[in-house]
Chain A
Amino acid sequence: MKEFAFHRAASVADLPSGATIIAGGTNLLDLMKLEVMAPEALVDITRLDLDRIEPDGDGLRIGALVRNSDLAAHPTIRRHYPVLSRALLAGASGQLRNMATTGGNLMQRTRCPYFYDRRMPCNKREPGAGCSAIGGVTRNHAILGASEHCIATYPGDMAVALRALDAVVEIDGPSPRRVPLADFHLLPGDTPHVETVLQPGEIITAVILPAPVGGQQRYRKVRDRASYAFALVSVAAIIGMDGGRISHAALAFGGVAHKPWRNPEIEKLLTGQEPSDALFAEAAEILLQPAQGHGENQFKIPLLRRTLNATLRDTTGMEAQA
């Protein structure tokens, strides 16, 4: 670990410029030990007053320092946004969730093994160096929206549920603003080192949830062991039914792209229809039409198709009738 200056911020206005934020530290410290990240200065934000969950119009404002465990257990979240509780509980381990914060979770970095290994070239770590994953071990890599410069995935679960919930990220800094989560994470393109729209000197202060939408909510995560593993693929689903037809559909996908993935076309296709295997297959077809595997991770294409199908059967009540 490289030596660094350490500052504990007393207020959002007190953030030193150029310092890297540390919240729970569960991702940042691992990266610092390996010197994948080697900041000159850290600013600890955990004393800031950002750890509340409070009403925001008809929705909810979740402070950036709310711990993943607390958020998952919050009664309003469990009741009105169960997909978020489920996504959080599907992530990491109990110990990590006790430390991990809402802001830090959004900002967590990819789990591409070559990104973690300084012996190997990586465009994300060192722009222009090349991508070692291409032609290497690609089990956890992207099938959607990747580029020839980077095929890494955004690894988190919480943000996938937030994407389905149409959440908004509240940012403070020189020009405070609110950014829809949909626009917060970026595709790699030729700048894979730029992962979000957050600018230097900015901080996430909260995540805003719109009014609850009800419906059947699931977070379905398929992984290589039953717990404590990142998603191979995941589906966050919110499905409303009315008179045997799908009245509302919001579907976001994790483990498949550089950001939580969503495709409005499949939601449009599903809305107003009676659930059927044929309909779900058509939705999967649209979703996966642009998908491209990179060797080992080819399996994510059929796996995502199957997982989407299972999630839709479940949320539309087809599975229960079977």
Chain B
Amino acid sequence: MTRHLRVDGPNHDNRLDHMAQGVIGQPLNRLEGPLKVTGRATYAAEARPANMAYGVLVQASVPAGKVLEIGDAPGALAVIQDKRMIRYAAQGLDEKGPTSGPDRIEYMGQSIALVVAETFEAARHAAQNIVVRYKPEAVPVDPESVTPELPPKKQSAAGDVDKAMREAAFTLDQVWRTPSQMSAAMEPHAAIAEWDGDSVTIRAALQMLSSNRKQMADALGIRESKLRLLSPYVGGGFGSKLGINAEAVAAAIAAKELGRPVMVAMTRQQVFDLAHRRSETRQRIRLACDAAGRLNGIGHEVLVSNLPGSEFTEPVAQATPFTYQAAHRQVVHAVARIHRGCAGSVRAPGEAVGVTVFECAMDELAELAGIDPVELRLKNIPDVEPTTERPFSSHKLAEALREGAERFGWSGRRAPGQRLEGEWFIGMGMAAAVRVNMLQESRAKVTLVQDGTAIVETDMTDIGTGTYTILGQLAAEMLGLPTDRVEVRLGDTQFPPASGSGGSFGAASSGNSVFLACEEIRQQIAKAMGCDERDLTLQDGMARAGNVAKSLSELVDGTITGEGHLQPGKTEKSHRQATWGSHWAEVAVNRWTGEVRVRRMMGVFACGRVLNEKTARSQCLGGMTFGIGIALTEAMEHDPRDGHAVSRDLAEYHIPSHADVPSLDVHFLPERDAYVGPLQAKGLGELGICGAGAAVLNAIHNACGARVRDLPATPDKIIAGLEP
């Protein structure tokens, strides 16, 4: 039986708090951890079906135009050009395949064909040396060189920000720039396709299997039922595997044509060319406040870019409408249509750069107005969502700010430039953290077996986040089993379709579906016990109700199966849902060289129920590390002439190294959000990123007085703001 729930209203039951097993929330190790550290977890490119051939994508070496002719590839099995091949990756949750027709080139590095050979090396050699004739076209590649589009749905305004600026006691009007950024997941994109008659199985590195199956079926022109996707382990995605990409489509086409399994794995350089980038941004922020620091005007005008016709727009100012109060407000998202690689979701699309820049602006305003930055934020927290007057499902920003200030020792912060230790200026900075929260439709099946074990099945993915573990913990908690008695099976489209991993909605969405499936099973056990489900206690394989106790093996005849089906509902509209937090950083800035070292960093986060302290903490550590990257090191450089990605490997694209990351401190605020489903858990994966970089940048200013508004704050930009 399927238990269905649409989240149309609040749920104050706190059911998980009344379960007896006591494993939910515990900092358990990853269930699949031993498989991963011993190399037994097979990632997409690690299977070896018999008779497999290897494909390598051929890439365009002009930024736009038409492919006229592709030459031969001596030593290769085939050169495949198929009009179904796609030009760029699908966006997350797309239901259709992305634009096909690889003979039309939209950006330099686009995949235009596939070379297949007996070995990867031979295929790569052939692909690198194949001669292609083009009819090139001149196209713009600089976002500030074209007149941008203003998509109507991405603009909003209330009141008159100009007027607010004229009448304010203090105003700020500054422009920031952030560069293109990449997900830079450890595992390169890869796929192995194998046909059986007219059915195909594709092992791939993907984050959202049920929508990926739709995209892939559409791209290949086959029925969904003929397509099975397998992604049991994914070596990080960070948005870059939300949608299908060129390698998987090409692998399927080639495998059909050659009648044998084909693997297509991207090289590291290809990942940088072909995975979505986060658009660079130009952000003008205007703030107007009265003498007491109360905001009266907020303007956030954003310029981002994407390919012509690409629907995705980096939602930079997504959190701006509800983070702070102000009567006069304006949000502008302008999109420059240019021919750099396709832009899409990368690690907390929107807030990662939007909140970061906005929180830098708040720091600047606090200084102008002579108000403590924490105080300025506390003064401007709205009671209801300002634009819509909707209530918040929960609001923890003030608590996160106060608790953070206390724990971090914020009162010890001094005026800019006042702390010098040897060659190093020391400073502190802070920022608010905020990220929209959402649920996605998700299904799961749970089977309780007579021997006191359980199996969870859903096509949910674990992209290194801990999904196996939290779903196992949930089933164990609900069914009263030790966690080692629960097996979790993920990443296979033969299982019920789940939300997938993206937008921080994976844990809560798939978790709720497992919760519902378990409730269904509990119902059946209660029936066998002759009690109400609410009076049933399940613990260590025993069922108890009143003074009756029975083992599960007595109650279960064979197996009991329950299915859970969660759908987001009215609470998404009735309440503004978000996760909240605060970031704190202490940095050292070298007075001569402008090098920055983060000395300590702390985050305080509220994300509803924490399902596993350890995996939740790890998500925050990763997010804060990305924050350091956004502030200090990460930049995808584009060639000014043809727009191509210049930083194409992990030596050149600088994600923070270990030495850049000090010990990070994470605290969770206890919270149960009643409007987000019976689990009362919200998304956490991305919150740790949102604003983290601002704490670092604000600390740099506090240390040495330099304001860097062109990110990342590399030494060259810092010395430009230092005394000679």
Contact = CB atoms under 8 A, between A and B. Distances in A.
B132 to A, nearest CB: 11
Interface string A291-319: 00000000110110011011001100001
B633 A309 contact: no
B719 A224 contact: no
Contacts of B418: none
A127 to B, nearest CB: 20
Interface in B629-661: 632-633, 637-641, 644, 646-648, 651-652, 654, 656-660
Interface stretch (B24-32, B121-129, B194-202, B554-562): B121-129
Contact of B640 (A1, A136, A319): A136
B125 A224 contact: no
Interface stretch (A60-68, A207-215, A227-235, A260-268): A227-235
A173 interface: no
A319 B421 CA distance: 11
A319 B125 contact: no
Interface stretch (B361-369, B430-438, B537-545, B590-598): B590-598
A113 B124 contact: no
Interface string A26-40: 000000011100000
Contact of B61 (A119, A137, A310): A119
A111 B590 CA distance: 26
Given A2-B125, A136-B640, A303 B719 contact: yes
A1 B125 contact: yes
Chain B's interface size range is 35 or more
Given A33-B124, A225-B657, A303-B715, A113 B652 contact: yes
B715 A222 contact: yes
A118 B59 CA distance: 12
B450 interface: no
A118 B269 CA distance: 12
B651 A228 contact: yes
B579 to A, nearest CB: 29
B593 A307 contact: yes
Nearest to A281: B724
Given A113-B648, A299-B716, A303-B593, A224 B633 contact: yes
Contact of B714 (A119, A137, A224, A307): A224
Contacts of A202: none
A57 interface: no
A117 interface: yes
A3 B117 CA distance: 14
A226 B657 contact: yes
A135 interface: yes
Interface residues of A, number: 37
Given A136-B640, A226-B597, A306-B593, A117 B124 contact: no
A139 interface: yes
Contact of A307 (B121, B267, B592, B646): B592
Among B121, B633, B639, max chain A CB count under 10 A is at B639
A116 B597 CA distance: 30
Given A135-B641, A136-B646, A224-B633, A306 B592 contact: yes
Contacts of A300: 716
B108 interface: yes
Given A224-B654, A225-B660, A319 B422 contact: yes
B553 to A, nearest CB: 51
B657 A224 contact: no
Contacts of B716: 232, 299-300, 303
A307 B720 CA distance: 14
Interface string B688-722: 00000000000000000000000000111001100
B532 interface: no
- Which of B121, B128, B423 has the largest count of A CB atoms less than 10 A from its CB? B128
A163 B449 CA distance: 72
Nearest to A308: B592
A232 B719 contact: no
A1 B644 CA distance: 23
A225 B719 CA distance: 15
Given A232-B715, A319-B423, A113 B647 contact: yes
Interface in A107-156: 111, 113, 116-119, 135-137, 139
Contacts of A135: 640-641
A125 B211 CA distance: 44
Contacts of B641: 135-136
Contacts of A228: 651, 657, 659
Contacts of A227: 657-660
A299 B719 contact: yes
B660 A1 contact: no
Nearest to B59: A119
B646 A113 contact: yes
Given A227-B658, A227-B660, A310-B593, A1 B124 contact: yes
Contacts of B590: 310
A222 B714 CA distance: 10
- Which of B121, B646, B719 has most A Cβ within 10 Å? B646
A302 B715 CA distance: 11
A230 B128 CA distance: 27
Contacts of B124: 1, 33
A72 to B, nearest CB: 16
Interface in B274-293: none
A44 B720 CA distance: 47
Nearest to A117: B648
A309 B590 CA distance: 13
A35 B56 CA distance: 15
Interface in B590-617: 590, 592-595, 597
Contacts of A307: 592-593
Interface in B559-591: 590
A228 B652 CA distance: 10
Nearest to A228: B657
Interface string B252-272: 000000000000000101000
A195 to B, nearest CB: 20
Interface in A211-270: 220, 222, 224-230, 232
A309 B647 CA distance: 31
A111 B640 CA distance: 19
Contacts of A222: 593-595, 715
A136 B641 CA distance: 7
B18 to A, nearest CB: 48
Contacts of B633: 224-225
A187 to B, nearest CB: 24
A34 B644 CA distance: 17
A227 B595 CA distance: 12
A221 B632 CA distance: 17
Given A33-B124, A137-B637, A309 B592 contact: yes
Given A118-B128, A137-B640, A303-B716, A226 B659 contact: yes
A290 B128 CA distance: 40
20 contacts: A113-B647, A117-B646, A135-B640, A135-B641, A137-B637, A137-B639, A137-B640, A222-B595, A222-B715, A224-B633, A225-B656, A225-B659, A227-B657, A229-B654, A299-B716, A299-B719, A303-B594, A303-B716, A307-B592, A313-B592
Interface of B: 61, 108, 121, 124-125, 128-129, 267, 269, 422-423, 590, 592-595, 597, 632-633, 637-641, 644, 646-648, 651-652, 654, 656-660, 714-716, 719-720
Pairs of residues from A and B, 4 with the lowest C-beta to C-beta distance, nearest first: A299-B716, A310-B592, A226-B659, A227-B659
Given A225-B654, A226-B597, 20 more contacts: A33-B124, A35-B129, A113-B652, A117-B646, A135-B640, A136-B646, A220-B593, A222-B593, A222-B594, A225-B632, A226-B659, A226-B660, A227-B658, A228-B657, A303-B593, A303-B594, A303-B715, A306-B719, A310-B593, A319-B422
